[in-house]
Amino acid sequence: MLGAAPWPPESQDDSDSDDKSLENKKRDIVLLRCFIDMSEKFLKPLLTLQSSISDGTLEKISFADLWFLYQPSDIVFGREPTSDHKQHGPSYSDLKLYCYSWRYNGTRFMPSTTTKTIPMFDGEKSIKDLPYFPKQLCESDDPVVSELVARGNRFQR
């Protein structure tokens, strides 16, 4: 074979081997430091964001990070969008949530699907100011939760 290294490798002088081994270790340390720096710079903010979402302590979020907020099968609370957004209609840059729920038509429950839209925004926004937000980030004394519990109690009667 052309260009193939001999197998088994030819033995080399031990001092030459030690020098290459030391050079390889130094290179590996430099690469590992580079990886750690990159991870801390780029991944740590995302991991912190995910952690604060999962433990329910997130208070503000940017539009670019909204996709971290919603997971399949999350229960989502919301309000109807403002009249300004309805007037202009959704744009390609809005975040779309494809939701399903159950409707009762008086005799039986039926599945229902809807698309909810969150308009693009600049900067960070409070979770409470979003038109739709996951249940795990909703406080128990939130008026939305109180209204939904009251409506559920009326339905059970």
By residue count, the chain amounts to 157
Predicted local confidence at residue 152, as pLDDT: 78
- β pairing state of 109-118 and 95-104: antiparallel
pLDDT of amino acid 35 = 93
What is the pLDDT, as a whole number, of residue 141?
A: 74
Closest CA to 114 of 76, 144, 82, 152: 76
Q: How many CB atoms lie within 10 A of CB 127?
A: 18
11-20, 49-58, 59-68, 128-137: segment of lowest average pLDDT: 11-20
More confident call, 139 vs 95: 95
Query: pLDDT tens across 20-37, in order?
Result: 888 999 999 999 999 999
pTM of the model: 0.63
